[in-house]
Chain A
Amino acid sequence: MKRKAVALYSGGLDSTLAIKLVQNQGIDVLALHFYTGFCITETKRRRGEKKEDGSHYMNPALKYAAKYGFPLEIVDISDGYMNVILNPKYGYGANINPCIDCRIYMFKKAKEIMQEVGADFVISGEVLGQRPKSQKSIPLKIIENESGLEGLILRPLSAKKLPPTVPEINGWVDREKLEGIVGRSRKRQIELAKELGIDEYESPAGGCCYLTDENYAYKYKETMAVEGKITQEDLVLFPVGRHFRLDSGTKLIVSRNEGENNFLLGFKKNYHFFEPLGKGPVAIAKTINGEILDEDDKQIIANIIARYSKTIDGKIDVKYSFMDREEILTGFPFDDETINQWRVSLNGNKSRHSP
């Protein structure tokens, strides 16, 4: 009887190798790529960013599954995933990546799909000792138990250093043909790629998840420090636009291009909304406890927008709207030094609210 497996597939080298090693033993593999809502490719596309050669950024899972011939299912888990981010039982990794909880969540989903498609086990490209937070031997066991997949997660790259799994014990896969990689060196993976005909792959840092990004994490921590909570909208907005924190605690996001202009328009209903009457970026603002936006802040925002707009005679009119109120302000561009005192940025000047 031909056995079947589902694989957690990021599109990175490790998960590509893991699938190839198992496919080469005659197992049918369905690769699963989970869309969490924190996808860097999605944001780059929204902004209209392209690569140097003019081509579009592409989801690595889709790109490499097509290139190397894996059946692929892209699974949207963004709804329930928010809760994983906001309430991780096992805490956060280096940035705000809740690695262990994230893996548990993905393995639970993989188990459901495994059962749906009649597969026998799950493959993962995890390497023992490669990542500080989730890929040591104890977390691997926690992940396995909590996802209800005891003995059914095969990690082909480290299999020889881990206890035998059901597919190995039952002889569905030959343990001897799997690997025993431990640690952060990529040497064996690069050799193995050559052996398996994998001639193109993403760099290890080329992942598609925002949660491992330190700039994203900085904005998350800043919001937590100032507002004491994070909303689902915050999570979506962290990668978009230029972020500022005014002295009153009001958060301001100013778009950087047309794609972001269109995206921020979607928040017009619930945010204080600013739109230059001319060429320039739109902006949204949120006061700290839903308070009224004070007049000084409105003027500061108009002046910040003017800094990034095409002004005529050193000024530009900016339409402000909130609920059913509308008002025309005149923005006079601030210089960068003034603006930088409010900027929420890991590398630039920091607002007084910096975490």
Chain B
Amino acid sequence: MEIKADIVHDATGTYCPIPITELAKVAKKAEKGQIIELLADDEGAIQDVPAWCQTTGNEFLGYKEEDGILHFYIRKV
């Protein structure tokens, strides 16, 4: 998956719900249509990020794992 992000935020080393509260802060400042890339190593974020997108109406574009780090892609709606 090759997605070019407009904003990259590193939330590695934190655990639920911190990656989500950080994502929410980044998304609040982002412009509509911008793509956010969230880096996390809390595996539970695989459940949390899509759920957060569902509760906030933002679009979950997918995720990939590279060297033990999860990269989530979210488009601000």
Binding site for A on B (CB under 8 A): 15-18, 20-21, 24, 42-44, 46-48, 50-52, 54-57
Contacts and interface: CB of A to CB of B under 8 A. Distances in A.
A295 B77 CA distance: 61
Interface in A16-62: 31, 33, 35, 39, 41-43, 45-46, 55-59, 62
A335 B18 CA distance: 39
B17 A59 contact: yes
A75 B56 CA distance: 13
A76 B15 contact: no
B48 A46 contact: no
B24 A74 contact: yes
Contacts of A71: 55-57
Nearest to A75: B21
Given A55-B47, A58-B44, A74-B24, A41 B17 contact: yes
Interface SS majority for chain B: helix
A161 interface: no
Nearest to B13: A262
A10 to B, nearest CB: 13
Which among A46, A57, A63, A74 has the greatest number of chain B C-beta atoms within 10 A? A74
Interface of A: 31, 33, 35, 39, 41-43, 45-46, 55-59, 62-63, 65-66, 70-76
Contacts of A39: 16-17
Given A42-B17, A73-B56, 18 more contacts: A39-B16, A39-B17, A41-B16, A41-B17, A45-B16, A55-B47, A56-B44, A56-B47, A62-B51, A65-B51, A66-B51, A66-B52, A70-B55, A74-B20, A74-B21, A74-B24, A74-B52, A75-B21
